[in-house]
Structure 1
Amino acid sequence: MGYETYRIADLIDEIAMGPFGSNIKVSCFVDSGVPVLNGSNLEGFSLSEKTFRYVTRKKADSLNKANAHRGDIVITHRGTLGQIVFIPQDSKYDRYVISQSQFRVRCNDKVLPEYLVYYFHTPIGQHKLLSNASQVGVPALARPSSTFQQIEVVLPELSIQKCVVEIISTIQKKIVNNQELNDNLQQQAAALFSSLYDRSNTEVRFTDLIQILGGGTPKTGENTYWNGNIAFFTPKDVGIPYTLITEKTISKEGLSHCNSRLYPVNTVFVTARGTVGKVGMSGVPMAMNQSCYALVGKETHQLLVYFYTLKAVDRLKHKASGAVFDAITTRDFESEQIMKLSDDDATAFLRVAEPMFQEVLNNNIENLRLSTLRDSLLPKLMSGEIDVSAVQL
């Protein structure tokens, strides 16, 4: 199995930066047309097409160099660094406009774009991609297009690349299918809840049904409290509707030194400072930091708490204020009114929704297993440590 070292410059036919910010203003956006990419479209391995803003075809034509097509690679160079995706051949649109925080790459016939993207999702690939990152002010890559071209990668022959891509893509497709199924289940449950909620004629204070509890973090420098076996929830960990893992874990000793208790599965969390109003549920027992609230039902099922909160949160976000960053307080919750489902409607809703959300949780658990398998296999397949012909899925 032959491997060769290449510079990125030897593997691409084209590289182009996104447009200047002044070239795409808010006034440029229209209801339909050519989609404009942002950071949310670059989460994962291939392009996410859940939400877009659009510009007219004429505007996209005027930004020709910033147009990305199927098979192209798009990379973030400012903001959330480390993002790199490929545009699949079956993408929803035939072209996209990249943002001022991105650049695009078109590969030549020496490398498959999917393989190159997978490479830069491995630990060594991420290290190389971020090696010239600056954390002063907004995180950014210095001279992104030129430094990216100087990165060296080790590649096998194309037949091996194709096998690796097929193996990883098989896992990815299952993960994406589970995510799409979860989205569908959530939408069905939300539609049913809304139909029952809208016909309710009983209005109560949010805090009559739901208790608002705070969290906390051990003092800075108390490292002995971290790396335990308790998941520690922060605003960036919100997964809708179930969060299974977080980047941080805390020990039992750490939990006793902060103001957070250990919350059980199905606790509803809402982010309350910085990014306000993101709602999620815990898929494993968790503690949380001071930028979140845990919402616990007062004789109200936690699934109802989740949907009641979704109904209230848009209004709560408008109440957010703060000198340094936006925040909502317990007083904002106390002044919020919601419609309470009747006992019969609540029972009918839970009878349908509980099995749906159990399936959502099961799918998320499977996706966690699959993503762990993918992340373990990927560097070993690329280095040749695992013979691709020996992998059975």
Structure 2
Amino acid sequence: MACEVEWIPLGDIVNLSSGGTPDKKQPAYWDGEIPWISAKTLTGDTVTTSNLFITEEGLHAGSKLAPVGSILLLTRGSGLFKRIPLAIVNAPVAYNQDVKCMTSKVATITNEYVFFALKALSPELTNMLETTGIGAGKLATDRLLDMPIPVLSHDEREKAVSFFSALSRKIMINNRINDYLLEVGEMRFADLETRGTLSKTVHIADLPHILETGKRPKGGAASCGIPSVGAENVKKLGEFNYSSNKYIPRTFADNLKKGRVNGYELMIYKDGGRPGQFIPHFSMFGEGYPYKEFYINEHVFKLDFGDRGLNEFAYYYFHTPYVMKWLETNGTKAAIPGINRQNIEELEFPDPEQESVQDFCKRIQPYFTAIFRNCLENKQLQSLRDTLLPRLMSGEIDVSKVDLTQLTNNHLADC
């Protein structure tokens, strides 16, 4: 099945504008209430928040505001050729000079359609950037505007946008549910601390546990094989960057005695960062997320108390000021920032025999199960979207003759 598609230069469809950076030496421009997006903070498919903020004065002095529904595209950055950061704005944000804001100037073509059309062209766009000769990490605006994008008929555009928007909304809802479940867990844990029910402590060294790292073969990771997860993916529970995939050979994995992730162990960021600075990070995986079989490398610690609930309790406990400060202090002592086995095993840890700890461990388990299952569903939905987008947008598949709902259900069932 196929349908007709017209290829039109992007510049004929959208208006493009660049942002800017307020003077960083002017305190009056910063720490305001307007989220500000830069190359380091533009990630994912949607923009809803930021960790940088400017004031109204800063906005008028050097930046611009992207309206809701507009498209932000990162046009400069060291990782630009590996992935094209492209996002739809869910709440008004300001943006810097490395980010372009696009809005459709054709009444019958929506911003959402342009967004999905560009997502479908990500491989071609990446290849174009690599061959322009303009230097790594920079996108030429004129070449971007000259790039043709596929335009389906009006009815086909509406159906395609409706389908892909539904997938994106489901992914966003799952992420919001995960954030809510994590927050509820944090409140329950904080309640334990407030009531003083964690007063009895032991050292981790005194508890039955496994603390180990994995490794990769001499010469580094392989191009295919069994996934090997590094410190770059030990950031936060429920977050994983598949574009940073690394692998170890099957034969090498079969001979490893340490480092296999079975699920529900605490992952600890072991080493990395700038000299004199160590920022602790933790994560956890389970329910086949992010992979059914994978290992950690030598830059990640796996801590397992042999009790899933206690491992989940540890995830929250390791975020307490005491543990964060302990690991941060010890992690900055070495020339290469990092922590060792002794730093972890010397930590004081709430006695697992306390009734309050055991009760928390029982209550928290369904939260983590739901989080990982949502993450796994998101992975499947993103796979479906990335598979279908190029074929539907290019006209290879006639969107008007496809039962997209049934196709989605079949894909999830197969996964």
The alignment's TM-score, normalised by the length of structure 1, stands at 0.84
Q: Which amino acid aligns with 1:214?
A: T
Greater Cα offset, 76-85 or 185-194:
76-85
The residue type equivalent to 1:185 in the other structure is L
CA contact (8 A) 2:259 2:302 kept: no
Q: CA 1:318/1:149 → structure 2, altered by over 3 Å: closer, same or farther?
A: farther
Partner of 1:241: 237
Q: Which range moved further: 247-256 or 24-33?
A: 24-33
Q: Which residue of 2 is the match for residue 293 of structure 1?
A: 301
Partner Cα distance (1:37, 1:207) in 2: 43
Secondary structure, counterpart of 2:101 in structure 1: strand
Q: Cα distance, 1:179 vs. partner?
A: 1.1
Gaps of 5+ in 2: 274-278, 406-415
Correspondence 1:156-305 to 2 at 5 A: 156-198=152-194, 199=196, 200-209=198-207, 210-220=209-219, 223=222, 227-228=224-225, 230-238=226-234, 240-242=236-238, 246=242, 247-256=245-254, 260-274=258-272, 276-283=279-286, 284=288, 285-297=293-305, 301-305=310-314
CA–CA distance in 2 between the matches of 1:7 and 1:240?
Answer: 40
Q: CA deviation at 1:28?
A: 5.0
Matched-pair contact (CA < 8 Å) for 2:234–2:283: yes
1:381 matches 2:389: no
Distance 2:246 2:230 in 1: 9
1:69 alignment partner in structure 2: 67
Aligned-pair RMSD on alpha carbons? Answer: 3.1
SS across alignment from 1:120: helix
Pick closer, same or farther for the CA change 1:317–1:221 going to 2, 3 Å: closer
What is the distance in 1 between the residues matched to 2:95 and 2:239?
A: 30
Tell me if the contact between 1:44 and 1:83 (Cα under 8 Å) persists in the aligned partners: yes
Encode CA deviations 1:63-87: one digit per residue, 9 max, x unaligned: 25x3322232211122442101122
Identify the structure with bigger relative contact order (alpha carbons < 8 Å, sequence gap 6+): 2
Unaligned residue ranges in structure 1 (runs of 5+): none
What is the match of residue 145 of structure 2? Answer: 149
Q: Distance in 2 between matches of 1:321 and 1:131?
A: 42
The 3-state SS of whatever aligns with 2:87 is: strand
Within 2, Cα distance between the matches of 1:350 and 1:257? Answer: 34
CA distance in 1, matches of 2:141, 2:203: 54
Give the TM-score taking structure 2 as reference length.
Answer: 0.80
In structure 2, the partner of 1:58 is 57
Q: How many pairs align? A: 377
SS of 1:23's equivalent in the other structure is coil
Change (3 A) 1:278 1:241: same
Give the aligned residue type for 1:37: I
CA drift at 1:121: 2.4
Q: Work out the CA distance in 2 between the residues paired with 1:52 and 1:245.
A: 19
Residues 391 and 397 in structure 2, CA contact (< 8 A), matched pair in contact too: yes
Deviates further, 192-201 or 166-175: 192-201
User: C-alpha displacement at 1:170, in angstroms?
Assistant: 0.5
Question: What is the alpha-carbon distance in structure 2 between the residues aligned to residue 132 and residue 245 of structure 1?
Answer: 22
Aligned partners of 1:221 and 1:58: how far apart in 2? 49
Cα displacement string for residues 96-131 of structure 1 (whole angstroms, at most 9, x for unaligned residues)? 210243222232116422222223323x42431463
1:245 positional shift? 8.6
Comparing 211-220 with 383-392, greater Cα deviation is found at: 383-392
Answer yes or no: is the 8 Å Cα contact 1:163–1:388 preserved in 2. yes
